Structure formats: C-alpha cells, structure tokens
Amino acid sequence: MFRNFKMVSRVIFGRGCFNQLDDILASERKSDNPVVFMVDDVFEGRPLEKRLPLRQGDLLLWVNVDQEPKTAYVDQLTGQVRDQTKQAGKGLPAAVVGIGGGSTMDLAKAVSLMLTNPGSAADYQGWDLIKNPAVYHLAVPTLSGTGSEVSRTTVLTGPEKKLGINSDYTVFDQIVLDPELLTGVPADQRFYTGMDCYIHCIESLSGTYLNAFSQAYGEKALSLCRQVFLEDCRDADDKLMMASYFGGMSIAYSQVGVCHALSYGLGFVLGIHHGVGNCIAFNQLEEYYPDGVREFRQMLAKQQINLPTNIMAGASDRQIEKMIDVALILEPLWENALGKDWRKQMTRQKIKDLYLAM
C-alpha cells in the first residue's frame, strides 16, 4: 500500500513575509473567537514581540523549551487555553499559531490537536490515533532544520516513551517562512538544528526505503546544507530554511535511520536535545554512513563547533539499558537503515558499544 501523503496546505516564503501574518489570520477569524499565539519565550522583550499581530481577546502564551516538549506540558497548555477562552465566554480558538523552533512548532501542533480531542496527549503517541480534526494551526519557524514545519508528527516525551503524535491532522494548515527570523540564533544552536536536516538527508538517501520522491527532495536539501555549512554563501538563512523544508519532505516519504534511533535514546534518558544528540550519535556512525560522517566532520571544523564528549560518563547500567530499549522501539528506522534482517545486525551489545563511545 502506498501512503496517501497529506501536505501543508499553504506556504508563504520571503524576507519580511512575517508582516503578512495578520492578513493571513484575518480569513480564519470568522467569529470573535481568539487566536492563540504560542511563542518561544526567548522572544519575550525582543522586537518580534511588538510585531505580533494580536487583536483584542487573543491569547499570548510564552512557551518554554529549555526541555523538549513533554505530554504533561501539552496538557497544561491546552488546559490553560480552555480555561481562558471559557472565562472570556468564547468558543474554540479560531487558530493556533506557533512561533519558534521545532519544539515550539511541535507544542503548537499538539495543542491544536488536543483542543478537539479528549484525554491526554500521551494517549495519542503513536500512529493515526487522533480521531477529530485539529483547530486551524499555523507555524512560523525561527530556527531551521527539524522539518517540523512540514511533517505529520509532533515529537513528545511522555511518561513511558518519546514518540510523536503522527496523523494527517497534525500537519500545519499554513506555514510562514521568513528567513529574517533566523537572525540572531546562537551559532552552535544553528549548527545543531541545521545538522538535524543534514542527517535527515543522509539517512533518507542511504536508506532501503528510498524512492524517487524522497531522493528528489533529499538531494536538493543536501546540496543546500553543503552550501550553508561548507561554503561562504550569500543568503545562507534563506537556503537553510528551504533545506529544512526539503529535508522534511524527503523523510516524509522515506524514513530516518540509525542516528535518529540512538538520539531518541539519548533524549529520553539523559534529556539531551535532538539536534546536539544527533550530532553526538552521528559522529560515531562511520561504519554506517562513512561519506556522511566524513563530510559532517568537515562542517564541524568549518563552523568551529566543539561537540560535547564523554557524555555517558555518569550514566548507570540501568540508564544505558533503557536507552537501548528506547532505540529498539523504533523498528522502521532500523529497517530503513539496515534492511529487513536488521535484528541480526543490530544487537543490544552493538548499540551499547555505540552509546559507550559517545
């Protein structure tokens, strides 16, 4: 069976296009129900705050992403939106707008879904468990690489697992891609999130699930990453923003691989963020992605990034076993990377050795 793939309905791209956000939202404001702005709290007090097109009755929620999104946080934010709209005598929000990096975009997706679906976000971690369409939701990325702006998942850490809410309803209705908003991202963060995109491409392009659709997007995204991280190119932020989009499109119709499986284990047990966790894991994967790892190290050198080392120093045996469990749940990733008989190649001991080298 071929996947009938849901895409973002509308895309606007260009320097300064953020200024059109008010116009775009105007067509969604059919009643006096509020628009909910979920904005990364890094922008509190920054010029972007004054540019938010808030109208009377709208809700502004500053979200904190020091930790990657948890289901409990999604439940708390959803409850807050419900309480505040109820107190104001309003109905379901007209729109949810997420402004920030992958974490904030994922929080906005999750809240828009949970406003129309009962229970906790943790009940929906998995594939196609969502029953009701979400509230209209829109993303404005301020950090590029994750591809969350185009994906059908919102990656959440729940009580038992780190797993996305994967559904057609998760996909954004609109994205606003304004490269100017990437200005001011700290260099190491820009690199780690950018490498998420690079690694999406390498894992997609060398996987067994590869097809012409994924290859077309993956090759373009890879070429853009090379320009951004190996050359002194003009319009680097414009290119990085489109690399993220294309990289996301590439994995949407294929899959990621070994690096992402290991990185999820690092995230769940040690709280290591996705981008940096990917880089730490990828650096150990010469056996699986020899050319990619070599080029990644050139990018590290060119961008003068020092990767954290010896991260397993304080990890207990129990933690390492849990990391292996979390990594092994992600069966499609292993199958994509290593083929149908991946279990013969990837033993618990092999995964443990890879973790211990990090």
Residues near ligand NAD, by CB under 6 A: 40, 42, 65, 68-69, 100-104, 106, 142-143, 146-148, 151, 153-155, 181-182, 184-185, 189, 193, 196, 273-275
Given ligand NAD, Zn ion, none, residue 98, with its beta carbon under 5 to 8 Å by kind, binds: none
Q: Which residue matches tokens 């150990």?
A: 284
Q: How far is the CB of 17 from ligand NAD (least distance, A)?
A: 16
**In this complex, which beta carbon is closest to Zn ion, that of residue 25 or of residue 281?**
281
**In this complex, which beta carbon is closest to ligand NAD, that of residue 179 or of residue 292?**
179
Q: Are 246 and 218 in contact (CB under 8 A)?
A: yes
Cα–Cα distance, 291 to 262 (Å, whole number): 19
Going by their DSSP bridges, the two strands 162-166 and 155-157 should be labelled as: antiparallel
Site string for Zn ion, 192-231 (x = CB under 5 A): ----x-----------------------------------
Using CA atoms, how far residue 140 sits from 137, 187, 213, 234, in Å, is 10, 20, 25, 22
CA angle 104, 157, 243 (to 5 degrees): 45
* Letter string b/e over residues 85-106, b meaning 16 or more CB atoms within 10 A of that residue's CB: beeeebeebbbbbbbbbbbbbb
**In this complex, which beta carbon is closest to ligand NAD, that of residue 220 or of residue 274?**
274
**In this complex, which beta carbon is closest to Zn ion, that of residue 196 or of residue 237?**
196
| Phi, psi for 141 (deg, rounded to 5) | -70, 140
**By rule CB under 5 A, what count of residues binds Zn ion?**
1
Tokens of 219: 């090759």
Q: How far is the CB of 276 from Zn ion (least distance, A)?
A: 11
Q: Which stretch binds Zn ion (CB under 5 A): 69-77, 188-196, 235-243, 300-308?
A: 188-196
Site string for Zn ion, 158-177 (x = CB under 5 A): --------------------
Cα–Cα distance, 356 to 358 (Å, whole number): 5
Given ligand NAD, Zn ion, none, residue 272, with its beta carbon under 5 to 8 Å by kind, binds: none
> What residues make contact with Zn ion under the rule CB under 5 A?
196
